[in-house]
Amino acid sequence: MKKIISVFLCIIIAFSVSASAFAQSSKPYVPEIIVTGFGRTDLIIDKGEPTEDQIFLPSMNRLKSALGELVFPLSMFLLFDSSDYFAKSLVKTANNLFKEIEFDNNGEPVYDKISLERESDYYTFRYDFRYDVTDTAKILNDYIEQIKEYHNVEKVALIPESMGGAVTLAYLYLYGYDSVDTVVFRSSAMMGISFIGKVFTKEIHINPQDVTGFINSFIQGQGNDKILERALVSNIAKFPVMLIANKLNRFFDKQKDYIYENSMCRMFGNLPGLWSFVPSEYYEKAKATMLDKDANRKLIEKIDVYQYEIKPAAAELFKKMQADGVKVALISNYGLHGVPLVENDGCMTDFLSHFSRQADRRFNLHSADEYMVCKRYDPYMV
């Protein structure tokens, strides 16, 4: 009798395990695709040729050469206030450093022998950040179709980061979400970031406290030695940083028109992809600052699509996706210090939302277009 019961129990256990395994195996496989962020894939010129070089992010040799060219002009400026000489040297060096990534007034590449360091694989979608996000969205659509065919599936999961959020939003708006099971926006800047908005409107300002905070953000850890290192940076470096920051602020106030007219506008204003980073509150002023409405007419027509058609449709699009069974989430990573070239006021940021730590240790919300999107998408936050 005991043997019969034992055999019976073994059959039940075996059947249960098999049924569980069958249930798990019957669940459709959903490939996960990371849509990378700004500058996550380096740009290469003359790939495979003797003249091959990494142009963005610039190779270490390029950076060393550029910094070497600026040592003497910077010294002359710091010692003798030769701001005109330093401005001309800075413009010349910057233009030479970034000349290969340049686009023309219509938003088309000047150099045609630029390629990605690594192409997209079956887990990661890579792209050239310079192109308009609507153009990149078409490439993403083709890529998703290839992934579906390769894995013989109907849907994929998208995990966009940084600029990848704008690319993914453009894809969802232009091509729909029939092929999407899940989308997780991870610190995605699809509504723009105030840092680029301020740079594109000439609001350059260096706050000494932000500089020391930015440096301290690279000192990781909570041990006594790390606390001491951060204290030393905050106190010992404060005075020289303040002197240099104040001097550079006076330099920018005097020379920023020359720098923008002879370098910034042409070199970065003509890159369509960067305009997805400009928040709505800065957009028109940024266009007036960086572009010429006649010379850049075709470029403006192109970038306006994301700003005035795609971005405003995001909230309703996400709600409709969720109602149709698509899983949508936004994840933010706080605790990062903003780049100290604009007024940050001690911001903590993931470049999606900005908070300022006050003396009473509470967090007060900065008035930022980026945070409004978080409020609107609050049901999807995880």
Distance separating alpha carbons of residues 194 and 254, to the nearest angstrom: 23
Beta carbons of 168 and 185 less than 8 angstroms apart: yes
221: Cα separation from own chain's centroid: 25
Please state, in angstroms and as integers, the Cα–Cα distance from residue 115 to each residue in 41, 55, 225, 271, 274, following that order: 10, 10, 44, 16, 18
Q: What is the pLDDT of residues 128-152, one digit of tens each?
A: 999 999 999 999 999 999 999 999 9
Distance separating alpha carbons of residues 314 and 291, to the nearest angstrom: 26
Question: What pLDDT is recorded for position 355?
Answer: 43
DSSP string, 17-82: HHHHHHHHHTSPP--EEEE--TTSS-EEESTTSTT-EEEETBPHHHHHHHHHHHHHHHHHHHHH--
Distance separating alpha carbons of residues 206 and 208, to the nearest angstrom: 6
User: Which pTM does this prediction carry?
Assistant: 0.81
Q: Quick count: other Cβ atoms within 10 Å of Cβ 130?
A: 21
Angle (deg, nearest 10), helices 208-216 and 224-236: 160
Please state, in angstroms and as integers, the Cα–Cα distance from residue 342 to each residue in 37, 193, 196, 330, following that order: 22, 12, 9, 26
Q: What is the pLDDT of residues 191-241, one digit of tens each?
A: 888 889 999 999 998 888 777 777 776 677 777 777 777 777 777 777 788
Beta carbons of 207 and 344 less than 8 angstroms apart: yes
Q: Taking CA 219 as the corner, what is the angle to CA 218 and CA 221, rounded to the nearest 5 degrees?
A: 125
Question: What pLDDT is recorded for position 75?
Answer: 93
Question: What pLDDT is recorded for position 365?
Answer: 32
Taking only the tens of pLDDT, the chain with its 382 residues reads 555 555 555 555 555 544 444 444 567 899 999 999 998 889 999 998 999 999 998 999 999 999 999 999 999 998 999 999 999 999 999 999 999 999 999 999 999 889 998 887 778 999 999 999 999 999 999 999 999 999 999 999 999 998 999 999 999 999 999 999 999 998 888 888 888 999 999 999 888 877 777 777 667 777 777 777 777 777 777 778 888 889 999 999 999 999 999 999 999 999 999 999 999 999 999 999 999 999 999 999 999 999 999 999 999 999 999 999 999 998 876 555 566 677 654 454 544 444 443 333 333 333 333 333 333 333 333 3
Strands (E), the chain: 32-35, 43-45, 53-56, 114-116, 124-125, 156-162, 180-188, 327-331, 336-337, 347-349, 354-357, 363-365
Closest CA relative to residue 103, chosen from 265, 257, 258: 265
Beta carbons of 368 and 280 less than 8 angstroms apart: no
Beta carbons of 83 and 75 less than 8 angstroms apart: no
Question: What pLDDT is recorded for position 14?
Answer: 54
Q: Taking CA 175 as the corner, what is the angle to CA 147 and CA 351, rounded to the nearest 5 degrees?
A: 85
Question: What pLDDT is recorded for position 15?
Answer: 52
